[in-house]
Amino acid sequence: MRAVVFDLLSALIDSWSLWDQIAGSEELGRKWRSSYLELTYGVGPYRPYEDLVIEAATRIDLPAQWGTELIARWGELEAWPEVTIVLNQLQGRVKLGVVTNCSQTLGRQAAAIAGQFDAVITAEQVGFYKPDPRTYQAALDQLGVTTGETLFVAGSPFDLIGCAQIGLPVYWHNRIGMKRPDGFPAPQFEHSDLFSLPGSL
């Protein structure tokens, strides 16, 4: 492999905890986040991320101000504990990139929390949300690599759909034990942390 491309807000960043804190419980936070994932999966062309997190709340009768608070507290996001260790192991060995379903401003801010990357691709930049295959392809193009030379590190099962459409192999960092929906392609690797990633290349 010549490159590793990451989902940002689940595979590298523990964004779940911030959603849970704003919602007041893990149950409501996960419900809100699931609504958001379903919304972005079907939205297609880019609409402002900030609008989608608000809509994700209101469509399941949760407060719209939660979405506003999420954006205001974006700087509180933290990387998963092993991210620095794993990225240090990969630096200089492969090219590193991220593809994230958010705005340019928020994407670059969150990427800086996680580490240093050769490419940071956002849904706003591409004009489409993942799992549209154009989002993943944009990262490959910027890094100058092919699907056969790249491993994508997914944070949610929806990435399995988009990656399969362009033949991009997947390491699913399934941190919280999400269930792979029926009919979704299986990843090449699935782990609850990132420690196994360097050995998967």
Question: Cα(25)–Cα(66) distance, rounded to whole angstroms?
Answer: 13
What residues does each domain of the chain span? Answer: 3-14+77-200, 15-76
pLDDT in tens, 1-51: 999 999 999 999 999 999 999 999 999 999 999 899 888 888 879 999 999
Q: Is 28 exposed, middle or buried (0-12, 13-18, 19+ CB in 10 A)?
A: middle
User: Encoding tokens for residue 191?
Assistant: 């782990």
The secondary structure of 87-146 as a DSSP string is HHHHBTTBEEEEEESS-HHHHHHHHHHH---SEEEEHHHHTB-TTSHHHHHHHHHHHT--
What is this structure's pTM?
A: 0.95
Asked if the 3-14+77-200 domain carries CATH number 3.40.50.1000, the reply is yes
pLDDT in tens, 138-194: 999 999 999 999 999 999 898 999 999 999 999 999 998 999 999 999 999 999 999
Question: Cα(150)–Cα(154) distance, rounded to whole angstroms?
Answer: 13
- pLDDT given for residue 92 in this prediction: 94
- pLDDT given for residue 166 in this prediction: 96
User: Encoding tokens for residue 37?
Assistant: 């994932």
